């Protein structure tokens, strides 16, 4: 059985949101707690990348802060590899609705896989840690879609999930249901 590490990517600046969106409340709880609840049943352990939260193990972004989501994914891959995990399931702290069917599809993927519309939601084999280091060391834009292509990730199409980047996005979540 594959041993999975769950990683909440939560080190962003929330510049479009105007305040710390990970702690923005939805349905009475911080967004990051909803994201954690979505991953928890599918992973052996849960960590948070880029911040401290809720007593979870905190991983500092690698190789440095302000690397975007890839800094958190890199930290999670290295932690996974060092601690005997086969792969990492990642989700942004700003995506509180995650269908179990999507997670099941990611878990079943034989290699790297991510949601094409929101590639921070993905499955990344721990063996990719050094490859991501090399990618981040290159003098180019460190876009997560470019990394997914480099990693040969299966792009999961046809699923659009709400992602909270601005206060209006949070307001729009009212009435959203998982399908």
> How many Å apart are CA 69 and CA 175, to the nearest integer?
28
In the chain, the domains with their CATH numbers are 4-172 (3.90.550.10)
CA-CA distance, 3 to 138, in Å (whole number)? 30
pLDDT in tens, 67-80: 889 999 999 999 99
Find out whether 129 is annotated in a ligand binding site: no
Find out whether 45 and 7 touch, Cβ atoms under 8 Å. no
61 is in an annotated binding site: yes
11 is known to lie in a ligand binding site: yes
Residue 37 annotated as binding site: no
pTM: 0.92
* Predicted local confidence at residue 176, as pLDDT: 55
């Amino acid at each position: 059985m594959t041993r999975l590490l769950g990683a909440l990517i939560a080190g962003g600046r929330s510049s479009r949101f105007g305040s710390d969106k990970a702690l923005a409340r939805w349905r009475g709880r911080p967004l990051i707690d909803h994201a954690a609840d979505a991953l928890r049943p599918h992973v052996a352990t849960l960590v948070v990348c880029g911040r401290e939260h809720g007593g979870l193990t905190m991983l500092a972004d690698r190789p440095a802060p302000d690397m975007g989501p890839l800094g958190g994914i890199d930290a999670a891959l290295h932690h996974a590899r060092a601690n005997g995990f086969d792969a990492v399931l990642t989700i942004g702290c700003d995506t509180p609705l995650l269908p179990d069917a999507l997670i099941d599809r990611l878990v079943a993927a034989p290699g790297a896989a991510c949601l094409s519309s929101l590639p921070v939601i993905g499955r990344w084999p721990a063996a990719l840690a050094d490859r991501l280091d090399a990618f981040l060391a290159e003098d180019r834009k460190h876009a997560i879609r470019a990394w997914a292509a480099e990693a040969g990730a299966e792009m999961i199409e046809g699923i659009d999930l709400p992602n909270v980047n601005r206060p209006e996005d949070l307001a729009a979540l009212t009435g959203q249901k998982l399908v």
